[in-house]
Structure 1
Amino acid sequence: MPRTLFVAPDQRGALPTIRDALEAADEGAIISIAPGDYPEPVSITRQHVTLSARESGSVTISSPFPDQPVVSVTDARVELIGLKFTSSEHSAVRVRGGQVKIVECTATAGYAPGIDIAGADRIEVRNSQVTGAQYGIIVEDSDGTIDRCEIREIADDGLIVRLGARVKVQHTTIAGCGFRGVYMYQAGDSSLDRCDISQTGDAGIAVADQSSPHIGTCWVHDTQGAGISVGRGCGGLIEDCRVENTAVPGIHLADGARTEVREGDPAKGKVPVGAVATTGNHQDLESVDKLLGELDGMIGLAGVKAEVRGLIDEIQVNEWRRSEGLSVGTVSNHLVFAGAPGTGKTTVARIYGQLLKALGILPNGRFKEVSRRDLVGQYIGHTAEKAASAFEEARGGVLFIDEAYTLSRSSGSGADFGQEAIDTLVKLMEDHRDEVAVIVAGYTGEMEKFMDANPGLASRFNKTLVFENYSPEELVSISLHMARGDDYLLGEDLDLALLEWFGQMERDQNFGNAREARKLLERMRKSQSTRLRSLGQRPTRDDLRTLSLDDLLEAVRGTG
C-alpha cells in the first residue's frame, strides 16, 4: 500500500516543505499538503508520486525564482490533485517525458504557458483551469486527454497541440484569447469534442501542417477570425459544429485541404440552431476580377482605384497566410471617403461592398445608404432606435453614411441627438465588428473634424480615401458617357465647347463634379426639346438623338 506523507509547516510530526516530502518519498508515495502558501519550486525527476491538497483549492504553490517553473516534472510518473500554481515569467507546470495526471488544479502564468507538456508517454488534464498566461496549455509529442477544463484570459493561443501530439480534448471551454483559441499543427488525428471556444483575436480553431483532427459538436463563437480555419494539406472531419458571430466564412478550408464537413440534421438536434457549416472560403475570384474591371472603367479616380486595389490585395494575402497557419493582423473594413459631392463615392462604396462579398469577408453585398435624417430622432431614445435599425438593415453588407459630418455636435445646432447617433454607431461597430463595413463620406475638411466627435471613431476608421475633383477633360468624358447611356450623341464641336465650359466653372465647396455634368445634360435635353418642337415637322431619329452646340448655349444662358 502506498505510503502517505504529510506536509504542514506548523504541524508537529509533519514535514515542513514539499521538497522535504519528495526527498523522503518512496515509489508510489502520496504527499498530502495542508492548506497554505508554499513559495518553493517543486522539481520531480524519475519518481512515482502524488501531490494532493488536503482540501482542494486550498494549497498555492509558487516559485520565488522567476527563471524556474513552479512544478517541473522530468521522466516521472506524477499526479497533481487540487493544487494552485502561480508563476510570472516561467511555466506554472512544465512536463518533459514520463506520465502526468493533473486533476482539479488551477494554473496562472504571466509571461509563459500555464501548462507546458512535451515528450510525455501519457497525460491527463481534467477539471482544471488555466488563466492569465501567455499560452494556456501546450502539448507536444505526447498522447492523452484534456477533459472538462477551462482556459481563459490568455494573451496568445489558448491551446496548442503540435509536433506529433495525439490529444483528445473534450467538454472544455476556451475563451478570451488574444490570438487563436486552439492551434493544431502536425497534430495527427487529435480531436476536439463538445468544446466551447469564444472571444479570440483570430481563429477559434486553426488547423495546419499535416493535421487531420476530428472536430465534433463544438460551439465556436464571437471570434475575430474564422470560426474554424483549416490549412492546405490537412484532413480530418468537422461535424455537427455550431459556428456563430465569427469572421466570414465561419469554416474556412484552404485550397488543397481534404477536410470533410458534415452539417448534420438540425431537425434532429445534431446541430444547434444557428450553426454555420460552410466548406471553403467561398471566394469568387472571377467576380473579384469583374468588379475590379468595373472600378477601372470609372472615369478618373486614379488614387482611389489604387487604394481599393491595395485593400483587396491585403485581404487576399491575409487569406493565404491564414490558410498556411500564419499570423494575420487585424484589418478594419471601415473606410472614410473624403471629397466633394459627385466624385463617385457612392458608386465606389457599392463596388467595395460587392468585392468584400466576393472575397468571402461579408456574407452579402447589401448596400444601405443613409444620411442624418435616417439616423437622428426627435426625442430621447428615438435616435438609438433609428441608428440601430439602419445598422441592422446593413448587416452582412455596407452601411454608407453620406455627409456624415452633419452628425457631429460641432456642425449641428448643439441641441440635437447627432452625437447620440455617433456613439450608438461606434458601439454597434464594436459589437458586430466583422458583420458590416461602415463607410462615412463627406467633405475632406469636415470629415477631419467629424473624426474627433467620438474617441472611438479614429480607431474604427484607420483608412481614408480622398476623392479629388474631376478635371474638365474628365467631366467631358463623364458627359459623353451619361449621354450615351440615355441614347444621346454629342453634336459636332460640342465636346470642345463642354471642355471650355467646365474649365471656367468655379470650383468652390458647392461644385458638384459629376452632378454638374448631369444637371447640364438635363438642361440641354430641355433646350433640344424646345428646338425640335419649333421645327414644324417630325424630327428624324438622328435629330432626336443629337445634342447640338445651340442646345448647350441655351442651357447655360444666364448661368455663367
Structure 2
Amino acid sequence: MTRTLLVAPGQRGALPTIRDAIDNSDGDTVISIAPGEYAEELVLERRNIVLKARDPGTVTLLPPSGDQPTLTLTGGSLELHGLAVKCVDHPAIRVSGGKLKLTDVEASSSFAAVIMVGDGGSLDLRTSKILGGQYGIIVEDADGVVDTCEIRDIADDAVILRLGAQVALRNLTIAGCGFRGVYMYQAGTSSVERCDISQTGDAGIAVADQTSPSIVECWVHDTQGVGITVGRGCGGVIEDCRVENTADPGVQIAEGARTEIREGASRAGKAAVGATVARSNQQDLAQVDKLLADLDNMVGLDGVKDEVRALIDEIQVNEWRRSEGLSVDAVSNHLVFAGAPGTGKTTVARIYGGLLKALGILPNGNFKEVSRRDLVGQYIGHTAEKAASAFDEARGGVMFIDEAYTLARSSGSGADFGQEAIDTLVKLMEDHRDEVAVIVAGYTKEMVDFLDTNPGLASRFAKTLTFENYSPEQLVKISQFVAKSADYVLGADVEIALLEWFGQIDRDANFGNAREARKLLERMRKSQSTRLRGLGSRPTRDDLRTLTLEDLLHAISGAS
C-alpha cells in the first residue's frame, strides 16, 4: 500500500525535510512537498519514491553544496511531479540503473549535463523543460521516452543518445544550443519524431557510428550547420521532414550510409511540430466560452471586446488549419493596451491570458504584472539580468508591463538602464514568442513614443487595443457593480446624482475612470458608517446595506 508523507518546514505534524521523509519511507511512498526551496543531499538507493509539489511550480530542489548532483538515483524508481531541480557544477539529476519519471518538471545545471541516465536505467520525461546546462540530456546504455518537452539554451549538445541507448524523442522543441540539437552514436534504432529543432551552432540532428534511427516529421531550421547529417555505416529512415534555412546541403548522407529518405527532406506546408504544438491540441472550449462571457459582462469596452474576439477567432482557425496539415503564418500574441488608468486593461489582460491557456497556446496562463522597478537595475549589467529573470518567471503565461513608457524615461543618473531593459525584452520576445504573451500598457500618446524607442519593438506586437474613457452612464453601472459585489445597494436618487457627478468631473490626465467610482464608493461607505453610528440605536439590515443620497453628498463634499 502506498504511503503519503508531508514535508512542510515549521508545520506541526509534518516532516521538516525531504531527507527525513525519505528516511521514514517504507515501500512505495509519495512525498508531498510544501512550497519553498530545499537544499538537501538527496541520494536514493533502491527506493520507490514519488516527490510531488503540493502546489505545482512552487518547489525548488537544490544541492546543499557544489560538489554533488541535486538528485542521485541508484536502482529503484523515482518520480518527480511539478518541481524545479537546479544544480551548478554537477547534473541536476543522475540515474544509475534506476527508473526515472518526470512530469511538469523544470531542470537546469550551469556547467554539467542537466539529466544523465545510464547503466541499464530508464527515463520517462514528459511535459517538462530543460533550461541551461553544458548538455541537456545524456542517455547511455539505457532506454526511455522524452515527450512534449522543451530543451533550450544549452552550451553544447541538447540531447546525446550513445553506447546502447534506445530512446524515443517525440514532440520536442530544441532551440539555442551551442553545438548540435540531437547527437546519436551507437544508439540502435532510437527515434526522433515531430520535433522542432532550431538555432544550433552545428547540425540540427547528427547520426553516427552504427545508429539506424527513424527521423519522422521533424522541422529542422535556422541552424549554423547542416540540418540532418548521417555518418558512414548508419541506416534508418528520414521521412516527411522539413529542413529550412540551414547550411548546405540540408540533409547530408555520407557515402556508405544506408539511410532511406522518403517524400523529400525539404517539404513546405506541413503541420507545425514541437512541444508547444503538442500541448496546443488540448483545448478547453468550455473555458473559452466562459472567459468570453466574462469579457462581455464588463461594462463598455465594445471596441476592445471586438478586437479580442477577432484575435481568438484567428487563433482558433489557425489551430484548425494546423490539424489539417495546412500552412499557418507565424502570429504574435504580444499586445499593446493604450488608454487612461482604470479602463479595465489589467482585467482584460488576465482574461486574454486565460483564453490563450484554454486554447492551448500557452501552457499555464499565469499572470505576472511588472513595472519599471522590476525590470531596471542600478548598475551596468544588472538590468539585463533583472529583465531576463522577470521574463523567465512569466514563461507559460502573460507578462503585463504597466506604464511601460516609463522604461523609456531616463532615471537622471546618466546611464539609460531603461533602454537596456527595452532592448533585452525585444530579443526575449522574439526568441520565446511561443512561450509568453507580453502586454505593455499605458497612456495612448506615451505608448506611441514608447514603441519608437527600439527599431524592432513595434513589430513584436500583433495589435494595439485602445481603451476609451468610460462615459458617465458606464461609470454609474460600474458603481452599481462595485456596490453589489460588496453587498451594498444604492438608495433612491443616488444613481441620478452619480450620473450628474460623473458628468461634471474634469477628465484630465489624472482621471481614473473606474478607480474614481471605486474611490467614491469607499468614501460613501465611510460616510454611511458615520451616519449609522449617530443613530443612537442598532441599524436594521436594510440600513446596513443601503448607501443613501446623504452618504454620496457627504463623500463628494469631502473630496472637493
Q: Structure 1 residues 174 and 437 mapped into 2: Cα distance closer, same or farther (>3 Å)?
A: closer
CA deviation vs aligned residue, 1:107-164 (integer Å, no higher than 9, x gap) = xxxxxxxxxxxxxxxxxxxxxxxxxxxxxxxxxxxxxxxxxxxx999xxxx9xxxxxx
Question: In structure 2, what residue type is equivalent to 1:544?
Answer: L
Asked whether the 8 Å contact 1:199–1:224 carries over to 2, the reply is: no
Match of 2:287 in 1: 287
Q: Structure 1 residues 299 and 549 mapped into 2: Cα distance closer, same or farther (>3 Å)?
A: same
Asked whether the 8 Å contact 2:295–2:348 carries over to 1, the reply is: yes
Task: Quote how far apart the aligned CAs of 1:354 are.
Answer: 0.4
Match of 1:348 in 2: 348
Distance in structure 2 (CA, Å) of the matches to 1:317 and 1:446: 34
Match of 2:539 in 1: 539
Tell me the percent identity: 74
Asked whether the 8 Å contact 2:371–2:404 carries over to 1, the reply is: yes
Distance in structure 2 (CA, Å) of the matches to 1:304 and 1:413: 38
Match of 1:364 in 2: 364
Q: Structure 1 residues 327 and 556 mapped into 2: Cα distance closer, same or farther (>3 Å)?
A: same
Residues 108-123 of structure 1: pairs in structure 2 closer than 5 A: none
Q: Structure 1 residues 395 and 339 mapped into 2: Cα distance closer, same or farther (>3 Å)?
A: same
Are 1:176 and 2:221 counterparts? yes
Are 1:376 and 2:376 counterparts? yes
Question: In structure 1, what residue type is equivalent to 2:221?
Answer: G
Q: Which SS does the other structure have where 1:377 is aligned?
A: coil
CA deviation vs aligned residue, 1:426-448 (integer Å, no higher than 9, x gap) = 11112211100000000000000
Task: Quote how far apart the aligned CAs of 1:343 are.
Answer: 0.2
Task: Quote how far apart the aligned CAs of 1:198 are.
Answer: 8.5
Q: Structure 1 residues 426 and 226 mapped into 2: Cα distance closer, same or farther (>3 Å)?
A: farther
Distance in structure 1 (CA, Å) of the matches to 2:284 and 2:306: 21
Task: Quote how far apart the aligned CAs of 1:194 are.
Answer: 13
Residues 254-293 of structure 1: pairs in structure 2 closer than 5 A: 281-293=281-293
Q: Which SS does the other structure have where 2:459 is aligned?
A: helix
TM-score, normalisation: structure 2: 0.53
Asked whether the 8 Å contact 1:406–1:412 carries over to 2, the reply is: no
Asked whether the 8 Å contact 1:404–1:450 carries over to 2, the reply is: yes
Q: Which SS does the other structure have where 1:455 is aligned?
A: coil
Task: Quote how far apart the aligned CAs of 1:329 are.
Answer: 1.2
Match of 1:496 in 2: 496
Distance in structure 1 (CA, Å) of the matches to 2:443 and 2:198: 45
Distance in structure 1 (CA, Å) of the matches to 2:418 and 2:300: 34
Q: Structure 1 residues 477 and 173 mapped into 2: Cα distance closer, same or farther (>3 Å)?
A: closer
CA deviation vs aligned residue, 1:202-240 (integer Å, no higher than 9, x gap) = xxxxxxxxxxxxx9xxxxxxx999753xxxxxxxxxxxx
Match of 2:450 in 1: 450
Task: Quote how far apart the aligned CAs of 1:176 are.
Answer: 2.3
Asked whether the 8 Å contact 1:224–1:434 carries over to 2, the reply is: no
Residues 126-141 of structure 1: pairs in structure 2 closer than 5 A: none
Distance in structure 2 (CA, Å) of the matches to 1:444 and 1:172: 45
Task: Quote how far apart the aligned CAs of 1:192 are.
Answer: 4.5
Q: Structure 1 residues 509 and 484 mapped into 2: Cα distance closer, same or farther (>3 Å)?
A: same
Q: Which SS does the other structure have where 1:352 is aligned?
A: helix
Distance in structure 2 (CA, Å) of the matches to 1:171 and 1:481: 55
Asked whether the 8 Å contact 2:304–2:466 carries over to 1, the reply is: yes
TM-score, normalisation: structure 1: 0.53
Question: In structure 1, what residue type is equivalent to 2:488?
Answer: Y
Question: In structure 2, what residue type is equivalent to 1:551?
Answer: D
CA deviation vs aligned residue, 1:491-528 (integer Å, no higher than 9, x gap) = 00100000000000010110000000010011101111
Asked whether the 8 Å contact 2:271–2:324 carries over to 1, the reply is: no
Match of 1:305 in 2: 305
Are 1:459 and 2:504 counterparts? no
Match of 1:333 in 2: 333
Q: Structure 1 residues 451 and 170 mapped into 2: Cα distance closer, same or farther (>3 Å)?
A: closer
Asked whether the 8 Å contact 2:269–2:326 carries over to 1, the reply is: no
Task: Quote how far apart the aligned CAs of 1:414 are.
Answer: 5.7
Task: Quote how far apart the aligned CAs of 1:416 are.
Answer: 4.0
Asked whether the 8 Å contact 1:334–1:439 carries over to 2, the reply is: yes
| Structure 2 gap segments, 5+ residues each | 1-196, 205-212, 229-235, 247-260, 262-267
Of structures 1 and 2, the larger Rg is shown by 1
Q: Structure 1 residues 489 and 173 mapped into 2: Cα distance closer, same or farther (>3 Å)?
A: closer
Residues 39-50 of structure 1: pairs in structure 2 closer than 5 A: none
Residues 465-484 of structure 1: pairs in structure 2 closer than 5 A: 465-484=465-484
Asked whether the 8 Å contact 1:524–1:551 carries over to 2, the reply is: yes
Distance in structure 1 (CA, Å) of the matches to 2:413 and 2:499: 41
Q: Which SS does the other structure have where 2:439 is aligned?
A: strand
Q: What's the RMSD between the two structures over aligned residues?
A: 3.5
Residues 485-524 of structure 1: pairs in structure 2 closer than 5 A: 485-524=485-524
Q: Which SS does the other structure have where 1:496 is aligned?
A: helix
Match of 2:439 in 1: 439
Q: Which SS does the other structure have where 1:438 is aligned?
A: strand
Asked whether the 8 Å contact 1:337–1:467 carries over to 2, the reply is: yes
Asked whether the 8 Å contact 1:171–1:196 carries over to 2, the reply is: no
Asked whether the 8 Å contact 1:340–1:444 carries over to 2, the reply is: yes
Match of 1:398 in 2: 398
Task: Quote how far apart the aligned CAs of 1:462 are.
Answer: 3.2
Asked whether the 8 Å contact 1:525–1:551 carries over to 2, the reply is: yes
Q: Which SS does the other structure have where 1:557 is aligned?
A: helix
Distance in structure 1 (CA, Å) of the matches to 2:219 and 2:497: 69
Distance in structure 2 (CA, Å) of the matches to 1:350 and 1:356: 10
Q: Structure 1 residues 306 and 171 mapped into 2: Cα distance closer, same or farther (>3 Å)?
A: closer
Distance in structure 2 (CA, Å) of the matches to 1:514 and 1:225: 48
Structure 1, 411-420 or 429-438: larger mean CA deviation: 411-420
Task: Quote how far apart the aligned CAs of 1:320 are.
Answer: 1.2
Task: Quote how far apart the aligned CAs of 1:345 are.
Answer: 0.3
Match of 2:167 in 1: none
Distance in structure 2 (CA, Å) of the matches to 1:541 and 1:318: 54
| Structure 1 gap segments, 5+ residues each | 1-150, 159-167, 183-189, 201-214, 216-222, 229-242, 252-277
* Segments ≥4 residues shifted beyond 6 Å: 171-174, 193-200, 223-226, 410-413
Structure 1, 536-545 or 411-420: larger mean CA deviation: 411-420
Distance in structure 2 (CA, Å) of the matches to 1:224 and 1:436: 25
CA deviation vs aligned residue, 1:7-37 (integer Å, no higher than 9, x gap) = xxxxxxxxxxxxxxxxxxxxxxxxxxxxxxx
Q: Structure 1 residues 336 and 536 mapped into 2: Cα distance closer, same or farther (>3 Å)?
A: same
Asked whether the 8 Å contact 1:483–1:489 carries over to 2, the reply is: yes
Distance in structure 2 (CA, Å) of the matches to 1:473 and 1:411: 40
Q: Which SS does the other structure have where 1:365 is aligned?
A: coil
Distance in structure 2 (CA, Å) of the matches to 1:451 and 1:224: 33
Distance in structure 2 (CA, Å) of the matches to 1:495 and 1:339: 26
Asked whether the 8 Å contact 1:405–1:442 carries over to 2, the reply is: yes
Task: Quote how far apart the aligned CAs of 1:377 are.
Answer: 1.1
Asked whether the 8 Å contact 1:412–1:418 carries over to 2, the reply is: no
